Every structure is written in structure tokens, then in C-alpha cells.
């Protein structure tokens, strides 16, 4: 098996852990500092740079602190050459069930999220 899959799986586990624990220390390792965060589920388009996004995460109670069940799932990982990848994943926070489309770049030997574009549905 391609060793990049194991690398990506580890990065995605950190991503899920960072979200579940609302831990921006972990998320800062996973996201490139110039990454894009975007969602068009509600209008107008939500688009944030990393610092405003991290401020949102820092303010919200973590799913872990509320005892929420984890629903993390990697649906697919695709590679577009040696330094670019795409992952489609699912997770939930509160009443929202997310489908995240994550674009990765390999910089200095580390896979980092360069763009997170997502959709969410409200859970019943």
C-alpha cells in the first residue's frame, strides 16, 4: 500500500481530534496558515482565513466536553501527484452533520490542509 495513505490517515485523525476537542493547537498543525475555510450551506457564502476560524473554535464548547458521540469517517483519499491530495470526510458537531472536502499540500514533508470547503445538514 502507498505510504502516503498512512500519512494522510494520521493527519485526518489529528483533524478529527482537533475538532472533537476544539483544540486549535492540534488544528494549527493540520491546517496550512494560509488555508481557506468556506461553506455555502447558508447564504451568504461563509469564507474565513485561519485566525478568525481558530477564534470560533476556541470559543465553542467542545463536542468532547458535551459527551457527544464521534461520527468521524474518511470516505476517500485521492492523490494528484506527489504533493497534492484530496480527502472527503464526515464528522458531526452538535446538531450539525458535516461533509468536508479537504485539499492538502505536502510542504516540508508534512501534509497540510490548504482548503476546507464543507456542507452540513442538521441532524434530527
CA–CA distance, 93 with 89 (Å, rounded to integer) = 13
Query: pLDDT (tens digit, 9 = 90+) per residue, 46-70?
Result: 999 999 999 999 999 999 999 999 9
76 contacts 87 by C-beta, under 8 angstroms: yes
pLDDT at 48: 96
Question: What pLDDT was estimated at residue 123?
Answer: 80
| The pLDDT of residue 77 | 97
CB 50 within 8 A of CB 35: yes
Q: Which whole number is the average pLDDT over 3-25?
A: 96
3-122 CATH, one of 3.10.450.50, 3.40.50.150, 3.30.930.10, 3.40.640.10:
3.10.450.50
DSSP secondary structure letters along the chain: --HHHHHHHHHHHHHHHHHHTT-HHHHHHHEEEEEEEEE-SSSSPEEE-HHHHHHHHHHSPPTTTTTPPP--EEEEEEESSSSEEEEEEEEEETTEEEEEEEEEEEETTEEEEEEEEEEEEE--
- pLDDT tens digits, one per residue of 66-94: 999 999 999 999 999 999 999 999 999 99
Averaged pLDDT of the chain: 96
pLDDT of residue 2: 82
For the chain, give every domain's residue range.
3-122
Amino acid at each position: 500500500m502507498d505510504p502516503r495513505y498512512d500519512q494522510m490517515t494520521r493527519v485526518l485523525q489529528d483533524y478529527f481530534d482537533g475538532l472533537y476537542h476544539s483544540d486549535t493547537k492540534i488544528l494549527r498543525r493540520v491546517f496550512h496558515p494560509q488555508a481557506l475555510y468556506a461553506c455555502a450551506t447558508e447564504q451568504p457564502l461563509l469564507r474565513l482565513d485561519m485566525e478568525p476560524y481558530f477564534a470560533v473554535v476556541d470559543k465553542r464548547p467542545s463536542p468532547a466536553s458535551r459527551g457527544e458521540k464521534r461520527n468521524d469517517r474518511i470516505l476517500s483519499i485521492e492523490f494528484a501527484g506527489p504533493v497534492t491530495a484530496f480527502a472527503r470526510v464526515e464528522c458531526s458537531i452538535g446538531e450539525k452533520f458535516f461533509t468536508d472536502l479537504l485539499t492538502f499540500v505536502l510542504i516540508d514533508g508534512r501534509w497540510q490542509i490548504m482548503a476546507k470547503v464543507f456542507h452540513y445538514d442538521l441532524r434530527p
